[in-house]
Amino acid sequence: MALSTGITHTLTVTVTPDMSPEHLGDIVVLSPPRMIGLMETASTQAVQPYLEEAGQTTVGTHVDVSHESAAREGEEVVVETELVAISGPRLTFRVEARVGDRIIGRGTHRRHVIDRSRFSR
């Protein structure tokens, strides 16, 4: 299995109170940082099985997404990612998060393939 454009992955989560910004008090919604984290997780999971060498993984290098709508407590958020470009070790993903037909966030995310051993002490 080779790394190639068109690889997709879907991640589904239910919004819980720990995903909400503290400053909103008892209003529970998915925070933008948590949404971005889900997009990063989905992108990582999409390509990890396709990395050729043992010890390889990816690290996030850029996020350009909009947060367009709220996802409330108990709602199911579906995050979809698609690998749309490969340039050497640089990977570009199209990312989207939605609740049903309602888009809550979308944009692009870039990751870089690395060898874990470079970060070992």
Question: Which secondary structure element, helix H or strand E, spans residue 61, and what is its range?
Answer: strand 56-67
| Residue in the block written with tokens 């910004």 | 21
Cα 28 to Cα 9, 16, 19, 53: the distances in Å are: 26, 7, 8, 41
DSSP count for the chain of H helices, then E strands: 1, 5
Give residue-wise pLDDT tens across range 9-49: 999 999 998 888 788 778 889 999 999 999 999 999 999 99
- pTM value is 0.93
Locate all alpha helices (DSSP H) within 27-89, ordered by sequence: 32-47
Query: Residue 60 pLDDT > 90, yes or no?
Result: yes
Among 48-52, 73-77, 103-107, which is the least confidently predicted range? 48-52
CA distances from 13 to 38, 77, 88, 92 (A): 9, 5, 32, 23
